[in-house]
Chains A and B, each alone.
Chain A
Amino acid sequence: MYPAAFDYAKPATVAEAVSLLSANPDAKILNGGHSLLPAMKLRLAQPAMLVDIGGISELKQVSVNGGATIGAAATYDDLLKHDGLKAHTALYEAMSKVGDVQVRNRGTVGGSAAHADPAADIPAALIALGAELVAVGPNGTRTIAADDFFVDILTTALEPDEVLTEIRIPASGASSAYEKFAHPASGYAVCGVAVALERDGEGTVTNARIAVTGSVYKATRCSAAEAAITGTKATAADIEAAAAVAADGLELAGDHYASAEYRGHLTKVLTKRALTRAAG
């Protein structure tokens, strides 16, 4: 639990952070620190430099106006105080279920997204809500859809010299929910399912986004369940039918605590519960 030696920098602007990252290829961004620092204490991560973005005030900005724009360094605790975010229920619920009070006081949505832990709650919520992630690098700013952002275990579409600056949640009017089965030790999701339903005036589902985390190696959309619920009135029977195919096509993870089979089963159960609440 004793990290290897590292340098530390605390830039005041995004541009300064980008130039530090460009100049130090073995540098890592320090945000809330709840994933990186434990890895460093185990010497599983040995970055040569930490670039602490906690001093960049623009990254803590939050604006809610139909959609939402969340600075990458805003903590869960900050965000949970924004009542406007409750409309983006899947994200709000996912944030409220991250870790414990201490973790939520330090941890950030941006940090969770950029770390891309396969059992983290936030990636599933961002995918279900159709979020966009904004990155700033030496070549300027680009926007990445959540669908494309989570590439693999602990791997995102971010380049090493890019800084994730903000997360944008569109004003889709979707009704959403997040369901979680937490690991009793880590609190991470053994399985987590986020759903978002857009419906027309008749109550017909016009667009469904369902994303699973924990059961899989990276947050992934459940396309079979999305197809099954789209075009229906989301009755109990419709939801049952959609949930039954929720694990179809997923590459399921398993370990001694929860096998792939069990996680596949949980994916169905939680999809049903999340759809029921989102449709209710």
Chain B
Amino acid sequence: MAVTKLFGASIKRREDPRLMTGRANFTDDVRLPGMTSMAVLRSPHAHAKIVSIDTSAAKAMPGVVAVYTGADLIDDLAPVPCAWLVPNANLVIPEYRAVATDRVRFVGDAVAVVVAEDRYLAQDAADKIEVEYDVLPAVVDQEAATQDGAPQLYDNVPNNIAFHWELGGGDIDAAFADADVTISKRIVNQRLIPNPMETRGAVAAYNPGSGELTLWVTTQNPHVHRLLIALTTSTPESQVRIIAGDVGGGFGCKIPTYAGEMIACAIAKRLGRPVRWQEDRRENFVTTTHGRDHITQLEVAAKNDGTVTGIRVKTYASMGAHLSTAGPGVPTWLYALMLPGPYTIKNFHADVYGVLTNNTATDAYRGAGRPEATYLLERAMDLVARELKMDPVAVRSKNLVPAGEFPYTSAAGLLYDSGNYQGALAKALEVIDYAGFRAEQAKAREEGRLLGIGFSTYVEVCGLAPSAAAGAMGFQGGLWESAIVRFHPTGKVTVFTGTNSHGQGHKTTFAQVVADELGVPFEDVDIVHGDTQMVPMGMGTYGSRSLAVGGAAIVSASRMVVEKARTIAAHLMEVGVDDVTFDSGTFYVTGAPDKVKTIQEVALASYLAWNMPEGVTPGLEATYFYDPSNNVYPFGTHVCVVEVDKDTGQVAFKRYVAIDDVGYVVNPMIVDGQVHGGITQGLAQAVYESAVYDEAGQLLTGSLMDYAIPKAAMLPWFEVDRTETPSPTNVMGIKGAGETGTIASTPAVANAILDALAPYGVDHIDMPLTPQKIWRLIHEQKG
């Protein structure tokens, strides 16, 4: 690999001074002349018929511009779209309207919309709208929702089953028939609420003269938004401009196109005045998509020597009250393909029901399907170890794909690009001093203290690609990425990328890569993303794809620029192209290093165009669309050590070691930050976070006073290190780093707590492992 000046350097993020000093430009910072504010009246019921809506008092209030119901907007907007049409699943997409017309199906469903001169007046007026509901029975448990007699959300979705999908590999029945031991366990992967720091928001402006619709919206994929807004608002796609500005976190929940921005667009077109909508935190909790929410019957087949021969799951996935943009893809492909994990498990089978329930829709949440699979698999490894009285590390070692077998085709048919799974495990064992810990644990147990250690050896699929695979999976888009690299006459460089940073630091990482490729100063490279008028095409940021796909596209475009510049330089130096060498921003004649042209000189010459080679066009820029041949597969081992307080059930984190392999690393500090954030969210699922609904469909954890996002003091010190196994898939040898921490940490933490509780014979507790649950088990075992 060409390790150059900036590749591998922990450069401080160039984004941060602006973000930290309040100079960012989020959607809610947008102010336009004549702008109105929109408030949405939302259903307080999880399931009800709308009998009547009286908006007269609201309309009469001072400062109110307009009030709309679902009936008023029915012709303005197509239904809220679902764009992942999973094939062979009897998929039914029920019609979900941006503003409900006759029936509401979750708490937070939009019932009416007020547009006023300011946000306070809009809220005052929304409070004056009278809605009469006929409350219907609700169902929030996805397993119960499939039973005969359960409340039905839609007439055309019998038993609330939106899809039923299966995937398998090998011979699962034979695996169970030939097993020495089998394990069966019902495991819940609880619903989570993403909670980006910036809630969702939109400002829509329509120019009746030009017909142009501009939408400032907080999104991870502006071009997907452009397409779906064009289709749902009946606006030509060429007339729709999406501007993402700064995006304050996404974690997957800013992939979908939502009712909120669609409504703002429709009203802006009607009024000819800009409409601003910013979700408040309470709305965010109920209207922005949630994640996870599986009920699974897990079955494992194994041999007495610890070889795991089969994994079978029957999963009920809650989709919420409608199918969100990418919703159906998450508990199907993104989940089941990873069930064999980093192991040589030959046989697996997944049976998945996507179920509609009376709560907020689910969609991608950091890791999206892969954490759910990894959690089951890593719990399975510990359950097998417990059953066979083996060391959990020994069971993992027994089953890991050997380092010499890459590229390796998994039982699910994925081609794992490269790996050294044992290498990461060995490094983790060394850092944690595994033998020393087990001795300490034995001593602690004699003293009546509960120490535990948990492992997670994982692999994940990211850098999602190629487009043909996306098509086979029913995803209604490609998974390529575009890049434009443009020199200006002054030698400055602008890079346009279709990925869209929402906190990942693309303006830093991508500039490091480009500065190396072009041999120009880092400061001279500007990265542009998030505005569809500046970046013509793109697919966005999710699935840890930005560097692996978008970054690789940028490298290819940069190299095209260099090749064009080489042609011009050769012409200017009056030598053949083959005689010109490029190194660190300078073209020189091979063997005559004093005869040089800098790339900046060439850039200027290309725009002056006074003296161009025959057949070479003016200007110096290149466009490249990159469609990878494969995904990338980061892997590693995470280890957590905990102590459980027997009296209260509280968990104290003693150590957390993360050994990740994300291939070559451009900016180690940024990758460390991604890993820290990922571990935080994954650990939070294990012990803190849970979206809890009551039977009527009311969200009991609907605020940050109730929903426990951890503060720094609630986390362990992260001991982060890496191994480096380059991916052969892309030119940089990089894998993805955005989701590894979330995927790996949840089972590591749960396994650690359950290891601590082993003296009580406890082998599973559903997440989050709260003090109360832990205390209750200890208490019951004590009798």
Contact = CB atoms under 8 A, between A and B. Distances in A.
A and B found bound together: yes
A265 B650 contact: no
A143 interface: no
Nearest to A184: B708
Say what secondary structure dominates the interface of chain B. loop
A2 B650 contact: no
Contacts of A3: 120
Contact of B772 (A186, A257, A269): A257
Interface in A161-196: 181, 183-186, 188
Interface string A1-36: 111110000000000000000000000000000000
B647 A186 contact: no
A81 interface: no
Interface string B764-777: 00000011100110
A42 B280 CA distance: 10
B772 A2 contact: no
B706 interface: yes
A215 to B, nearest CB: 13
B648 A186 contact: no
A1 B709 contact: no
Nearest to B705: A186
B124 interface: yes
Given A1-B281, A258-B772, A266-B648, A185 B705 contact: yes
A100 interface: yes
B710 A184 contact: yes
B120 A181 contact: no
A269 B648 contact: yes
A217 to B, nearest CB: 18
A32 to B, nearest CB: 16
B131 to A, nearest CB: 17
Nearest to B707: A185
B127 A43 contact: yes
Interface string A103-145: 0000000000000000000000000000000000000000000
A180 to B, nearest CB: 11
B282 A1 contact: yes
A206 interface: no
A155 B48 CA distance: 35
B705 A4 contact: no
A259 B282 CA distance: 25
Contacts of A188: 705
A181 B127 contact: no
A58 to B, nearest CB: 33
A46 to B, nearest CB: 10
A256 B120 contact: no
A186 B282 contact: no
B714 interface: yes
Interface in B705-764: 705-711, 714
Given A4-B124, A100-B711, A256-B700, A181 B650 contact: yes
Contact of A265 (B282, B692, B707, B775): B775
B124 A185 contact: no
A42 B127 contact: no
Interface in B12-59: 39
A186 B714 CA distance: 13
Contacts of A258: 771-772
B152 to A, nearest CB: 27
B282 A42 contact: yes
Nearest to A43: B127
Interface string B111-138: 0000000011001100100000000000
Nearest to B127: A43
Interface string B628-669: 000000000000000000011010000000000000000000
A184 B120 contact: no
B154 interface: no
B610 to A, nearest CB: 61
Contacts of B710: 184
B704 interface: yes
Given A185-B704, A186-B706, A269-B648, A262 B123 contact: no
B688 interface: yes
B775 A185 contact: no
Contacts of B700: 255-256
Contacts of B123: 2, 43
A266 B708 CA distance: 20
A127 to B, nearest CB: 23
Nearest to B39: A2
A185 B772 contact: no
A256 B688 CA distance: 13
Contacts of A185: 688, 701, 704-709
Contacts, number: 54
B280 to A, nearest CB: 4
Contacts of A38: 705
Contacts of A181: 648, 650, 771
Interface string B238-280: 0000000000000000000000000000000000000000001
Nearest to B650: A181
A243 to B, nearest CB: 10
Interface centre among B647, B704, B714, by most chain A C-beta atoms within 10 angstroms, is B647
Interface in A238-277: 255-259, 262, 265-266, 269
A184 B705 contact: no
A3 B124 CA distance: 9
Contact of A1 (B280, B647, B701, B771): B280
B753 to A, nearest CB: 15
B199 to A, nearest CB: 10
Contacts of B770: 257
A2 B127 contact: no
Interface in A67-113: 100
Nearest to B281: A1
Contacts of B771: 181, 258, 262
B754 to A, nearest CB: 20
A2 B120 contact: yes
Nearest to A188: B705
A181 B705 CA distance: 15
Contacts of A262: 771-772, 775-776
Nearest to B122: A2
A4 B128 CA distance: 12
Contacts of A43: 123, 127
A5 B775 CA distance: 47
Contacts of A184: 688, 708, 710, 714
Contacts of A42: 282
Contacts of B647: 269
A100 B714 CA distance: 12
Interface in B600-647: 647
Contacts of B688: 184-185
Contacts of A265: 775, 779
A256 B694 CA distance: 9
Contacts of B708: 183-185
Contact of A5 (B120, B280, B650, B704): B120
Nearest to A186: B705
Interface centre among A1, A186, A188, A266, by most chain B C-beta atoms within 10 angstroms, is A1
Nearest to B706: A185
A272 to B, nearest CB: 8
Nearest to B648: A269
B190 to A, nearest CB: 12
Nearest to A268: B647
B267 to A, nearest CB: 19
Q: Please provide the 9 A-B residue pairs with the shortest distance between their CB atoms, ordered closest to farther.
A: A184-B708, A1-B280, A185-B708, A186-B705, A2-B123, A262-B772, A269-B647, A184-B688, A256-B692
Given A185-B706, A185-B708, A257-B772, 8 more contacts: A1-B281, A2-B123, A5-B124, A43-B127, A181-B650, A258-B771, A258-B772, A262-B772
30 contacts: A1-B280, A2-B120, A3-B120, A38-B705, A43-B123, A100-B711, A181-B771, A183-B708, A184-B688, A184-B708, A184-B714, A185-B688, A185-B701, A185-B704, A185-B706, A186-B705, A186-B706, A255-B700, A256-B692, A257-B770, A257-B772, A258-B771, A258-B772, A259-B772, A262-B771, A262-B772, A262-B775, A262-B776, A265-B775, A269-B647
